[in-house]
Amino acid sequence: MARRRKLPPPNFVDRVLGIVAPGQALKNWHNRAALSMASSSYTAADKGDLTNKERTLTGGGIDRKLDEASLWDLREISRELDQNNGLAVGLLDRTVENVVGPNGFQHQPQTGNDDLNEQIADDFEFWLENYADGIGETHGWELFGYAKRTEHCDGDIMWHLDEDEHGGEGSLFAIEGHRVFTPRKPNLKDSYRMKHGFVLDGRGRRKGMWVSDETHEHPRANANKGVWLQAGEFLQWKRRKRINQTRGEPTFTPVIKDLDDRDELLLFEKVGAKLVASQGFWIETDQPSSAAAALGHTDSDNERAQYCEPGQILYGKGKATSLQSNRPSDNFDPFVKLIDRTIGLPLGLPYELVTLDFSGVNFAASRNLLNQAWRHFRVEQVKLGRQVKKIYLWWLKRRIARGHYSKYQNEIASGKIYAVKWGYPGWPSPNPVQDAQAAEIGIRNLFQSRTNYNRQVGVDQDQIFEELKTEGGEIGSDGSNLMDGSPVDAQTAAAMAANLRKMSLVAAGRFEQMQDGDFDPAELSDSEFDTYTQLAAMAEELEATGATTDV
């Protein structure tokens, strides 16, 4: 906020000049006053305010501030933290666990053709399991999980899209950030330039990337010590804050100093506690001259004036005073927690989730903390889904070009074959009964759907329908549950029949028509009609027990 400032008083020159040339003196004073107001219109920008923190303001774009040498240092520091700092390791682990999940995302093609959807889904899963990793060690989603962790730690990660691997099936080769930088004297077109290892045209579009063929200790190498990849042969995943940022910034960048300070603080407290635990003491004496002589005599091996074994009682002149056991202090734990909360902010992680310690908060507070963390994880999942979609489209376009799916020319010509969505992993509810009741109310009053609810908790709706078909078929005509032999009363049977009828219409994609009373089963496709008739038959079987339904 701008603060009202006092005008500068006339100086000595103004006063002298005012005697002989008052007009010029007034003009000079006005100019100085305007300059003072323009340069300090905001208190935070006032360089004369000694309370403001001293900062280096270089100007220019983000690439000027995040130069190759600085990025190299930040990347190496973040990697060292990932190796030796338990809190940093926990932050990255919690993020990948919650974003990628144990099995990755559910791949759901949306071509409008069920047979084509199933075929593409099976082919892509086979590719992820067998060919995605060019090294051949991990499943595709496990590879993406490692890549997401590297992206957070290093700031970015690059992919080499190799079309020739595995007999033309294609594979991915991860390229870590330290291998991509600008070599010495690159040979470029006149209109091209290089930034952080990328060849850019005049509009800033990536036309190529240089990758070193060996590990360097600094971002400098000759151009013949690496390879050039052209546009279309590589992808970049990066953590960026600015739209024109060429390279990503390590997630730990704003909290590196906090992590270092925390480590030093813990180290100092540990040393203090060890001194107390070892019963360190000093001797008070009224004969300093003899004490000085004793200190002048040292053992040749350990240079000690006197040996003291654990539990030993010393006799002699003087008073022994032990160190007080006051380390760590009472306010040490809250202070460390405050630092930990600050460190978790760049990853959207509350302290309780980082440390897996919810002992200091009640249920309502923990629920709010989890909701905020899940919201951040969902944003990260959407970003990852868009990144993986580029790889998926690269894979699918190549398969189409090689003649796969040739009988689906309508879907290819219309572009529907490229439509896809991801089913993201969800999280277990901290209060499942309450959440289930809220979902039931929403579904009953038609402002929530089963599909949306299942999507939120990370469950595939199509898989649910298939399982319900199987379970529904195990209910006998007498209303008994064949799985455990327990009878089903008329009210429960009626509710189950109503739900089955609703599910049959939802599965067929005709729920809105049902609500309007404008539903004709003859309009269904073959697969939709099969689903409808199977579930409707289950409902009729339940109604045969004497239950009535009103759908």
Q: Are residues 23 and 91 in the same domain?
A: no
Q: Are residues 199 and 73 in the same domain?
A: yes
Is residue 544 a part of any domain in this protein? yes
Sign of the Cα pseudo-torsion (150, 156, 158, 159, in order) = positive
Q: Are residues 133 and 217 in the same domain?
A: yes
Pair 153, 250: CB distance under 8 Å = yes
SS3 65: helix
Distance separating alpha carbons of residues 496 and 331, to the nearest angstrom = 58
Is residue 387 a part of any domain in this protein? no
Is residue 537 a part of any domain in this protein? yes
Reading the block at residue 29, the tokens are 């004073």
Is residue 55 a part of any domain in this protein? no
Share of residues in the chain with pLDDT > 70 (%): 69
Distance separating alpha carbons of residues 107 and 118, to the nearest angstrom = 10
pLDDT in tens, 168-195: 889 999 999 999 999 988 888 888 999 8
Distance separating alpha carbons of residues 272 and 276, to the nearest angstrom = 6
* Strand-pair partners of 487: 480
Domain count, the chain: 3
Q: Are residues 228 and 123 in the same domain?
A: yes
**Best CA proximity match to 36, nearest among 15, 14, 1, 8:** 8
Distance separating alpha carbons of residues 488 and 545, to the nearest angstrom = 9
Is residue 496 a part of any domain in this protein? yes
| pLDDT score for 372 | 87
Residue 270 — φ and ψ, nearest 5°?
-65, -45
Edge to edge, what strands does the sheet with 156-162 contain? 171-176, 156-162, 234-238
Q: Are residues 191 and 234 in the same domain?
A: yes
Is residue 531 a part of any domain in this protein? yes
Q: Are residues 136 and 232 in the same domain?
A: yes
Greater model confidence, 215 or 523? 215
Pair 197, 182: CB distance under 8 Å = yes
Distance separating alpha carbons of residues 205 and 295, to the nearest angstrom = 73
Share of residues in the chain with pLDDT > 90 (%): 28
Q: Are residues 37 and 171 in the same domain?
A: no
Is residue 516 a part of any domain in this protein? yes
Q: Are residues 148 and 27 in the same domain?
A: no
pLDDT in tens, 109-164: 999 999 999 999 999 999 999 999 999 899 999 999 999 999 999 999 999 999 98
| pLDDT score for 469 | 65
Q: Are residues 88 and 209 in the same domain?
A: yes
**Structural domain boundaries enclosing 92:** 66-97+118-253
Q: Are residues 30 and 76 in the same domain?
A: no
The pTM is what? Answer: 0.70
End position of a domain, from candidates 189, 220, 253: 253
CA distances (Å), origin 17, targets 11, 31, 267, 407, 489: 10, 15, 65, 93, 106
pLDDT in tens, 215-263: 777 778 888 888 999 999 999 999 988 888 899 999 999 889 988 988 8
End position of a domain, from candidates 253, 269, 299: 253
Reading the block at residue 244, the tokens are 């024109």
Q: Are residues 159 and 223 in the same domain?
A: yes
Please list, in sequence order, all residues whose beta carbon lies within 8 angstroms of the beta carbon of residue 14, skipping any fewer than 6 positions away.
Answer: 25, 28, 29
Angle at alpha carbon of residue 163, lines to 160 and 168, rounded to 5°:
145
Is residue 303 a part of any domain in this protein? no
Q: Are residues 34 and 134 in the same domain?
A: no
